[in-house]
Amino acid sequence: MSARTDVDALAELSADERNERIRAAAERVENRTNRALVENRDLSTRENELSNADRAELEALRSAEAVAEHSERMRGAITSAMETRSRPGDADALNTFALSLTRGVPCRVQVETRSVTTANAGARHAVAAGPLGRPEWLYRSARIPFSPADSLVVSGPKFAALVAQTATAELGTKPNMTDPTLATSTLAAFAVLEEVSDQMVRFGAGAEAVTNRLAAESVFSVNAAIADALEAAAGTPVTYTTSPSHMADMGIAKVWAKTGAKPTAIVVNSADYPLLSAKAAVGPGDGIGAEVVAFNGIPLVVNDAITAGVGVVVNGMAFSAHGTDVLLASLPNLDNNTVKLRAETYFALLQHDAGAIVAVDFAA
């Protein structure tokens, strides 16, 4: 993310500095447009790029204004609450919470409330804090290398399957390798939103509980897209013969034969996972382990985006993953005292070896 569009960083600026940057960016856009009108022409490619960058900065600055205003109101409310708190020890937690909100970072703290009724006066009610974890990235499970994206479109060579060339006689003409094709992909955004009340953020489970779940769903969505892409890249499955374990072995052998390297994963639907469990082993000579995680030494990866009855055997090192980590953002609504939370991940997958993946049928 550019420093010009980093909402969190812009929210830290003084109001005067933000206003000056808003004025300057708007003026630059207006000047380019007016110049083109006077010269009776369209904006040049470079002028369009500069204007788009200025508009992105303007949008980020205005979002930062809203975040800063909301944070200031939050800080004031929390300061007021701290002045009347019943336990001095709550100051650190509330200070951490206020600072996190100022920076736009979700934070959950232990909150103590005291009732004013005689029935339960003095009773303490602590909010439980137990965040749910995120799923593991499928590209990591399949050992697909990941590179942070710095452009919307990513590209790279896709090579044909390896060919074992014969030896060249003395003075003979050397054979040519098949030319690669250019593989390109546009980053796709996998986002999910949730709107929460300010009361829930302050006194309930906290924004962190929601953002953790939003992040998990964004990762889950990316993983399903990866599984879809791998199955599409594998093409028509090899026709079933003998048994599911025989087919899995055949997939391993085909990828190994085409790439000269063992596959890094077998991706299967959950319905087909039990079909391969009888040959899962922890190590040479071992029986079925306490956790079934591999088939003949190749990690099993489960994702229900894979068609039931189909297994995808892949050498992940022949692919590349591109994108971002989960990006979290919040937008306060001062009219109804709610906060909209968003988790979003940009992702794209490229294949670089045509022989690095195969699909097999697990059923007749």
The residue type at 348: A
pLDDT tens track, the chain, 364 positions = 577 888 778 888 888 888 888 888 888 888 888 787 777 777 788 888 888 888 888 888 888 787 777 667 666 655 555 554 444 444 555 556 555 554 555 555 544 443 333 333 333 344 444 556 789 999 999 999 999 998 999 999 999 999 999 999 998 999 999 999 999 999 999 999 999 888 887 777 777 788 888 999 999 999 999 999 999 999 999 999 988 999 999 999 999 999 999 999 999 999 999 888 655 555 554 444 444 467 888 889 999 999 999 999 999 999 999 999 999 988 888 888 888 899 999 999 999 999 999 999 998 7
The residue type at 23: R
Could you tell me if residue 190 is left (phi over 0), alpha (psi between -120 and 50 degrees) or otherwise beta? beta
Buried b / exposed e over 313-322, threshold 16 CB at 10 Å, is bbbbbbbbbb
Q: Please tell me the distance from the alpha carbon of residue 253 to that of residue 238, in angstroms, as a whole number.
A: 12
In CATH, the number for domain 132-167+182-364 is 3.90.1690.10
Report the alpha-carbon angle 36-41-43, nearest 5.
Answer: 60
Domain with CATH 3.90.1690.10 in the chain: 132-167+182-364
Q: Please tell me the distance from the alpha carbon of residue 341 to that of residue 191, in angstroms, as a whole number.
A: 10
Backbone CA torsion sign across 300, 301, 307, 308: positive
Q: How far is CA 91 from CA 79, 94, 202, in A?
A: 9, 5, 14
